[in-house]
């Protein structure tokens, strides 16, 4: 069960709290069914990708598919935008360009 | 010639337009980038993440219910296409992409209602993990039921700042402070115009009073200094100046926003004429009072035409639809005059709001050289100034060509407002004369593989 009190958890109480599992950079995290990959990552490892031009972690900005600062990769190399993609049970994602891993 | 009416956007403007076209017997196609109708204002959570409407929309719960009911009644009478991106326009054709690949949509009449997004004044360190746009912070709460932090600072300017701070406090989040960069209470001369907003103005005062009652500090005339972060790039504090004193407030998240900015890329690709709005300091599509653009059979509505809020967006959606109906020879519905009056009487309030919570353009123009302005390309204010000096350019598109500001993935949606101010100041010209960043297709990044995998 995920936390409900915002002073402890950032997730709020909802109608159906169904927990699924995703893997990010080899680590397993819990996510809530219905939430976006960005929310799952915000709640889990904290960042979404590493900036291309200098060392800096990024975790999105606008949450409405305008800023394009939350793209990452499926394990097989396909790109996804975290704020417009729903988290699915068993999803395996990487936050670094595959060739940089 | 038969009419193929296409509406881009399913927020309050797009849905109001659809409703009017349906009543006139048309069967419009509605292209929605979102997964469910309602736009950002009535953005709905997935079924699993549902919370009571009163908690989601507050004073707007009744309107949310009405929007949901309207959509339900229209559902079988429109071709509603959720989760679809218009990424380019051709000759009477729109290029689309969704999960099943790319496709095209023919149109003879187009209503463009793409909405708006946060207008950003960059601050040192604003790319840190845990700093989100104000609109993004609201989406996190409303659609995701997962807030941006446990202790959050709301910084920037505008009515939305107080609304979202209030919604976060109501949800049980520790709101550390509301830091307003404007001086909303110092301008008595604007009070009559603000009072003309009636209910909307009263709501703003209610949110402020509710925040104060909870003991949440609301500071005005603040100058934001730096978003402080740890070694993992996570927000730990925000420093700012208030009444000449430097202060540091600890937090684990910041919501940043300075009002809203119209989404104009599609209007640009459609070759519509623009005009400069000196109050909003943005180039906006040029239309007549009903939303008729300078291109035939193209109409605009909602915040994508001009920032006026969701209630005016509905009226402007109806007016755009009426104009379309008039132009194809169908009788204009009787509400036209009433909606025109609504638009005119709201104009005074919107202008007063925009002036009261103005974009801090002087501060932005004077941003220190090391502050990142364009987060896609990692370009600082200094890099933009150097380009202006080295190349002698004062046109935003020329500056873009030389240093890539606004050329990144977001196409200047985030940096555009600030970059224009910096170029204008550095070249000693006006914000109007630096021009506007031109949109390019695809207006948002799309995977090439999806394009290749076209639908039959």
How many angstroms separate the CA atoms of A58 and A73, rounded? 14
**Chain A touched by B45 (CB under 8 Å):** yes
How many angstroms separate the CA atoms of B179 and B366, rounded? 20
Rounded to 5°, the CA angle B66-B72-B75 comes to 135
B131, A47 contact by CB (below 8 A): no
For residues B304-311, give the mean pLDDT: 92
Which helix H or strand E contains B165, and what residues bound it? helix B159-170
Nearest chain B residue to A79 by CA distance is: B447
How many angstroms separate the CA atoms of B102 and B410, rounded? 20
pLDDT tens digit sequence for A1-10: 344 455 567 9
Please give the model's pTM, rounded to 2 decimal places: 0.95
**Which one is predicted more confidently, A100 or B274?**
B274
In this prediction, residue B328 has a pLDDT band, given cuts at 50, 70 and 90, of very high
- What is the pLDDT at residue B1? 65
Q: Go through the domains of chain B in sequence order and give each one's CATH number.
A: 5-116+261-354 (3.50.50.60), 120-258 (3.50.50.60), 361-434 (1.10.10.1100)
pLDDT over threshold 60, residue B455: no
Nearest-CA neighbor of B219 among B170, B167, B183?
Answer: B183
pLDDT over threshold 70, residue B127: yes
- What is the pLDDT at residue A3? 44
pLDDT tens digit sequence for A50-98: 999 999 999 999 999 999 999 999 999 899 999 999 999 999 999 987 6
Q: Do A61 and B133 touch (CB under 8 A)?
A: yes
Q: Taking all residues of chain B, what is their mean pLDDT, rounded to a whole number? A: 93
In the three-class reduction of DSSP (H, G, I as helix; E, B as strand; rest coil), residue B235 is classed as: strand
pLDDT over threshold 80, residue B104: yes
Q: Do A32 and B414 touch (CB under 8 A)?
A: no
- What is the pLDDT at residue B59? 86
- Which residues from chain A sit within 8 angstroms of residue B141, using beta carbons? 12
Number of neighbours of residue B298 by Cβ within 10 angstroms: 24
Among B129, B133, B147, the residue with its CB nearest the CB of A59 is: B129
pLDDT over threshold 70, residue B204: yes
B302, B13 contact by CB (below 8 A): yes
pLDDT over threshold 50, residue B134: yes
For residues B345-367, give the mean pLDDT: 93
Strand order from edge to edge, sheet including B79-81: B79-81, B29-31, B5-8, B109-112, B298-300
How many angstroms separate the CA atoms of A63 and A65, rounded? 6
Q: How far is B237 from chain A (nearest CA, A)?
A: 17
Residues 35-94 of A with CB under 8 A from B: 35-36, 39, 42-43, 46-47, 51, 53-54, 56-69, 71, 78-79, 81, 86
Q: Do A58 and B129 touch (CB under 8 A)?
A: yes
pLDDT tens digit sequence for B170-197: 999 999 999 999 998 887 788 888 888 8
Among A14, A62, A68, the residue with its CB nearest the CB of B135 is: A62
- What is the pLDDT at residue A1? 36
Q: How far is B333 from chain A (nearest CA, A)?
A: 34
A28, B342 contact by CB (below 8 A): no
How many angstroms separate the CA atoms of B6 and B112, rounded? 8
- In this prediction, does ipTM exceed 0.90? yes
How many angstroms separate the CA atoms of B316 and B319, rounded? 5
- What is the pLDDT at residue B258? 97
How many angstroms separate the CA atoms of B29 and B32, rounded? 10
In this prediction, residue B198 has a pLDDT band, given cuts at 50, 70 and 90, of confident
**Chain A touched by B40 (CB under 8 Å):** yes
CA distances from B428 to B282, B332, B380, B394 (A): 18, 48, 19, 9
A82, A38 contact by CB (below 8 A): yes
DSSP assignment letter at B453: S
B169, B154 contact by CB (below 8 A): no
């Amino acid at each position: 069960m995920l936390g409900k009190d915002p002073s402890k958890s950032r997730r709020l109480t909802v109608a159906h709290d169904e927990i699924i599992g995703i893997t990010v950079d080899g680590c397993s995290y819990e996510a809530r069914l219905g939430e976006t990959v960005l929310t799952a990552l915000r709640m889990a490892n904290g960042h979404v990708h590493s900036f291309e031009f200098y060392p800096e972690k990024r975790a999105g900005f606008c949450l409405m598919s305008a800023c394009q600062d939350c793209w990452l990769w499926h394990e097989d190399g396909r790109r996804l935008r975290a704020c417009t993609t729903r988290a699915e049970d068993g999803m395996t994602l990487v936050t670094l360009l595959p060739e940089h891993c | 010639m038969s009419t193929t009416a296409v509406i881009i956007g399913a927020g309050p403007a797009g849905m109001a337009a659809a409703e009017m076209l349906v009543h006139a017997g048309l069967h419009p196609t509605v292209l929605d980038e979102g997964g469910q109708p309602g736009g950002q204002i009535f953005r709905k959570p997935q079924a699993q993440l549902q919370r009571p409407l009163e908690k989601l929309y507050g004073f707007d719960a009744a309107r949310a219910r009405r929007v949901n009911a309207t959509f339900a009644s229209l559902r079988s009478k429109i071709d509603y296409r959720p989760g679809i991106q218009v990424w380019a326009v051709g000759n009477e054709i729109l290029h689309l992409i969704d999960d099943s690949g790319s496709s095209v949509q023919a149109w003879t009449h187009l209503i463009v209602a793409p909405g708006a997004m946060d207008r950003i004044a960059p601050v040192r360190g604003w790319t840190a993990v845990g700093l989100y746009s104000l609109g993004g912070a609201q989406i996190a709460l409303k659609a995701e039921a997962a807030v941006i932090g446990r202790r959050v600072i709301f910084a920037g300017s505008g009515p939305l700042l107080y609304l979202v701070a209030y919604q976060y406090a109501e949800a049980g989040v520790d709101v550390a402070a509301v830091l307003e960069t404007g001086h909303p209470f110092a301008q008595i001369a604007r009070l009559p115009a603000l009072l003309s907003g009636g209910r909307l103005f009263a709501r703003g005062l209610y949110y402020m009073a509710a925040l104060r009652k909870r003991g949440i500090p609301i500071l005005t005339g603040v100058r934001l200094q730096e978003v402080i972060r740890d070694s993992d790039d996570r927000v730990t504090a925000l420093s700012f100046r208030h009444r000449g004193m430097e202060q540091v407030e600890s937090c684990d998240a910041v919501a940043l926003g300075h009002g809203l900015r119209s989404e104009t890329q599609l209007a640009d690709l459609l070759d519509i004429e623009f005009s400069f709005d000196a109050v909003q300091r943005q180039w906006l599509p040029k239309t007549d009072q009903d939303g008729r653009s300078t291109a035939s059979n193209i109409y605009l509505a909602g915040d994508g035409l001009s920032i006026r809020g969701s209630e005016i967006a509905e009226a402007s959606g109806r007016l755009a639809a009426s104009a379309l109906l008039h132009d194809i020879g169908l009788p204009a519905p009787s509400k036209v005059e009433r909606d025109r009056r609504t638009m005119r009487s709201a104009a005074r309030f919107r202008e007063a709001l925009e002036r009261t919570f103005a974009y801090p353009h002087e501060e932005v123009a004077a941003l220190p050289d090391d502050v990142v302005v364009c987060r896609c390309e990692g370009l600082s204010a200094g890099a933009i100034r150097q380009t202006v000096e080295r190349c002698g350019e004062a046109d935003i598109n020329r500056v873009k060509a030389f240093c890539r500001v606004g050329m990144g993935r977001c196409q200047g949606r985030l940096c555009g407002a600030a970059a224009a101010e910096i170029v204008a100041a550095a070249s000693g010209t006006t914000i109007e004369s630096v021009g506007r960043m031109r949109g390019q297709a695809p207006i948002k990044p799309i995977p090439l593989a999806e394009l290749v995998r076209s639908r039959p």
